Amino acid sequence: MLRREDFMPIPYLKKAKFTGSFQGMRYRMGKKEIEDGKTALTVEAWPEPYSYDATPKEQVISRDFEFSENGIQDGIAWLNEIYEKF
């Protein structure tokens, strides 16, 4: 099960995407610019073995969350749900 301490904090996510893997599932988290200068936290997951760029886009699932600490925690909970489906 993924835990909060396995992920980077907001200051890191403001500048770069965070990627990782967990028992056959790969994922990434990053900042996404949305309308009116607002930002969202985009969380994406896909099956191993390939990187994000080498994986067919139809195999990547994603969801946007609030760009905050709560959004990170919600994203991790979502990834754990997705892991159960993989």
Other Cβ atoms less than 10 A from the Cβ of 2: the count is 19
What global pTM score does this model have? 0.92
Q: 3-state class of 82 per DSSP? A: helix
Tell me the pLDDT tens digit for each residue of 5-14.
999 999 999 9
For residues 65 and 43, is the Cβ–Cβ distance under 8 A? Answer: yes
For residues 24 and 86, is the Cβ–Cβ distance under 8 A? Answer: yes
Tokens read off for 51: 């990187």
Q: Where in the chain are the domains?
A: 4-85
Tokens read off for 70: 């709560």
Tell me the pLDDT tens digit for each residue of 19-67.
999 999 999 999 999 888 899 999 999 999 999 999 999 999 999 999 9
